[in-house]
Amino acid sequence: MKFENMNIQENVLGSLNNIGFKEPTKIQSETIPIIKQGYDVIGQSKTGSGKTAAFGIPLVEKVTKGTRAQALVLAPTRELAKQIASEIRKFSDLKGLSVQTVYGGVSMRPQIMGLKNSEIIVGTPGRILDHMRRGNFDTKNVKMFVLDEADRMIDMGFIDDIAKIENNLPDDRQTLLFSATMPRKLNKITSRFTENAKRIKTETKVDEGLLEQHYCDVKPYEKFSLLVHLMKEEDPELAIIFCKTRRETSAVASNLKKQGINAEAIHGGLSQHQREKALKKFHDGRIRFLVATDVASRGIDVDNISHIFNYRLPSNAEDYVNRIGRTARAGKSGKVISLLSKDDHASFRRIMEKYSYKVGKLEISDFKEIPFRKRSSKRRRSYKNYRRRR
């Protein structure tokens, strides 16, 4: 199958050609035709399988130039909203549509202008709702409503906001919902927001051929030492080290720096600017290691991540699926190593029961003990300054 044979609008096809998309991925070849026919669609496929274009291509086809806010795409995080917008801009490049991102943490004013002048709106639920309440968002033209990473939005507690947003949209619109996983709690919103939806499910599991998954047992106080040991031993091209909390993420990153390992943290407690700076460095290959929380990692769209280290396992099994979906992308191989201490065992069991992955125990050679400071050095410094000032 080629995009050329999918009856796609000339100018959209031209844009796809320009960015080098020739063949649709599975989720794209299965959903694009039925979205074009006008059906509501509930699409499920693994992370990295091309869900953005699955809804983005027909969306750009259906939107006409010159009429404001015809499509509304909701995403769980700012990073993701930006990424979706930038991908849709590429598809609509030749068609000349305008795409406005709408998320919190930045000024409302340009967004208000954009809501009036752009055909396509991509945003996070909180800020979209905010604009709706202030009368900045005229929704009467919305004919496509997309919920991307719907599983994540539910996990992040956006259900009420989404329901309120949906309430403001015309009834005869088309609704598309995409997700890597379909936890039961999603049924409530799929039945509420969609009508006679077609369900498409492809490749929900990771490609076991390209992805190796391992675990190793370690005492909590040796975890950091083992991480450093593994990072040296494995010598990843690019790696993400996943932690559970913001504090842990900062602490691991700053301790890695102390070991001369160039790592940056990204988590929800950092400013938008800080997160973007770190992501860009990672994207450009200026740093090889990113220490991240699950939420922050959602914005990472990098193809050659060779390793995922789970410094702590997530309590939510779906987060594990999303973590490992960051590697073994675009035909490249990837390796996942989970460092398990007693706090991780229950989560590990739950994940393995749910997804029955093949995960091998990693044999570890002796490793050096390395000190780990729980508090970041910045905190201590500011405390010292505080004392000095007094």
Out of 15, 25, 100, 101, the residue judged to bind ligand ADP by CB under 6 A: 25
Q: Which is nearer to Mg ion, 51 or 288 (CB)?
A: 51
Asked if 24 is part of the footprint of ligand ADP (rule: CB under 6 A), the reply reads yes
How far, in Å, CA of 152 to CA of 161, rounded? 14
29 touches, from Mg ion, ligand ADP, none (C-beta below 5 to 8 Å by class): none
Burial of 171 (C-beta count, 10 Å sphere; 0-12/13-18/19+):
exposed
- The reply to whether 213 sits near ligand ADP by the rule CB under 6 A is no
DSSP state of 132: H
Could you say whether residue 49 binds ligand ADP (CB under 6 A)? yes
47 lies in the site for ligand ADP, by CB under 6 A: yes
Question: Does the footprint of ligand ADP cover residue 82 (CB under 6 A)?
Answer: no
* Long-range contacts of residues 135-141, Cβ cutoff 8 Å, at least 24 apart: 136/108, 136/111, 136/112, 137/69, 137/168, 138/68, 138/69, 139/69, 139/72, 139/168, 139/169, 139/170, 140/170, 141/67, 141/68, 141/69, 141/70
Q: Which residues contact Mg ion by CB under 5 A?
A: 51
Helix or strand run (H / E) with residue 211: strand 211-217
The region of 19-27, 226-234, 250-258, 311-319 touching ligand ADP under the rule CB under 6 A is: 19-27
Report how many residues bind ligand ADP under the rule CB under 6 A. 14
Least distance in Å: CB of 301 to ligand ADP?
Answer: 5
CA distance 56 to 50: 10
21 touches which of Mg ion, ligand ADP, none (CB within 5 to 8 A by kind)? Answer: ligand ADP
User: From CA 168, how far away is CA 184, in angstroms rounded?
Assistant: 26
Cβ closest to ligand ADP, residue 181 vs residue 250: 181
Residue 21 binds ligand ADP, judged by CB under 6 A: yes
By CB atoms closer than 10 A (0-12, 13-18, 19+), residue 221 is exposed
Pairing of strands 144-147, 120-123: unpaired
CB of 122 to ligand ADP, least distance (A): 13
Closest approach of ligand ADP to the CB of residue 29, in Å: 9
Residue 207 found at the interface with ligand ADP (CB under 6 A): no
> Taking CB under 6 A as the rule, does residue 310 contact ligand ADP?
no
DSSP state of 363: P
Joined together, the tokens standing for residue 199 give 């369900």
Q: What residues line the site for ligand ADP (CB under 6 A)?
A: 21, 23-25, 28, 45, 47-53, 301
